[in-house]
């Protein structure tokens, strides 16, 4: 079975509809989505009460942090190589 890719805006629209009172059953039948998909999107795109950020935002920030740490390590190694010369 081929996995469908949905645009982030579409996912957020579904989450907004759910948060505004649409039932999962309605969304499932109207848009042809699975129940698990809807609940996963709700979990991913609903803002947390403590941080005000969505899980997707946090994951993106963690990914960016890892990338910057990797770049920083590379630059530190380059600095030690050039400092020896």
Look at residue 14 and tell me if it is in a domain: yes
| pLDDT at res. 66 | 98
Measured distance CA(14)–CA(53) in Å, rounded: 18
Number of domains in the chain: 1
Look at residue 1 and tell me if it is in a domain: no
34 CB contacts (<8 Å, ≥6 apart)? 28
| pLDDT at res. 1 | 59
Domain with residue 38: its CATH number is 1.10.10
Which domain, by its residues, includes 56?
8-84
Measured distance CA(77)–CA(69) in Å, rounded: 12
* Contact status, residue 44 vs residue 56, Cβ threshold 8 Å: yes
Q: How many residues are given for the chain?
A: 85
Average pLDDT of adjacent 10-residue blocks, the chain of 85 residues: 84 95 95 95 91 92 98 94 80
Look at residue 3 and tell me if it is in a domain: no
Look at residue 64 and tell me if it is in a domain: yes
Look at residue 77 and tell me if it is in a domain: yes
| pLDDT at res. 48 | 85
């Amino acid at each position: 079975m081929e996995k469908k890719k949905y645009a982030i805006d579409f996912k957020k629209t579904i989450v907004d509809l759910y948060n505004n009172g649409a039932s999962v059953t309605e969304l499932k039948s109207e848009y042809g989505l699975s129940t698990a998909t809807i609940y996963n999107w709700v979990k991913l795109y609903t803002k947390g009460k403590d941080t005000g950020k969505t899980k997707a935002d946090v994951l993106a920030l963690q990914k960016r942090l890892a990338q910057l740490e990797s770049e920083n390590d590379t630059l530190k190694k380059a600095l030690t190589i050039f400092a020896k010369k």
